[in-house]
Amino acid sequence: MDIADDRKALIRTLNKLIETCKDGEAGFKVCAEDIKRPDIKQLFTQRSRQCAEAAEELQRAVLEFGGQPEDSTSIGADLHRRWVDLKSLITGKDEAAILNEAERGEDVAKERYSEALSQDLPTDIRAIVQRQYEGVLRNHDEVRALRDVERARS
């Protein structure tokens, strides 16, 4: 592979992560709107903002490599959010169900970041992706812990 192909592959990888961040931003926003507990609502609002900031950081990197940064969510996430909306109507926006869906979204993010880190990334980009991946892992574990507590309460 030549340098131009490497750059295109890197931009594709970063754009996939941007899409993942945008999915997280939108997903956490929906969860924040649906959840009743103020502490979890605040947490989801904060997570949504963090996902937006992560997307912006990756978009800047894509621009630095001369690429066109992604600026929308994935089609799969749009479908997933519609499913969450439908499910929440059926379940009456049950807190455990909302937390379960938030964890599922973070499972996808974990997979995408892990996939990106398995590639040969430039050192500075690897550092950004690794730092963001660690945030995804923290989000996932925190959401799972909240979900487990909520399950135990019901």
The per-residue pLDDT for range 34-85, each reduced to its tens digit, is: 888 899 999 999 999 999 999 999 999 999 999 999 887 666 666 566 656 6
Contact 30, 82 (CB under 8 A): no
Calculate the average pLDDT of the chain: 87
Q: List the structure tokens of 115.
A: 């996939």
- Match 């989801």 to its residue by tokens: 44
* Residue 90, domain CATH: 1.20.1260.10
**How many domains are there within the chain?**
1
pTM of the model: 0.86
Statement: residue 87 has pLDDT above 70: no
- Match 């009743």 to its residue by tokens: 36
Q: List the structure tokens of 140.
A: 């996932």
For residue 3, CA distances in Å to 6, 7, 15, 118 come to 5, 6, 18, 19
Q: List the structure tokens of 27.
A: 């997903």
Full domain range(s) for residue 127: 3-153
Higher pLDDT, 151 or 136: 136
Contact 83, 105 (CB under 8 A): no
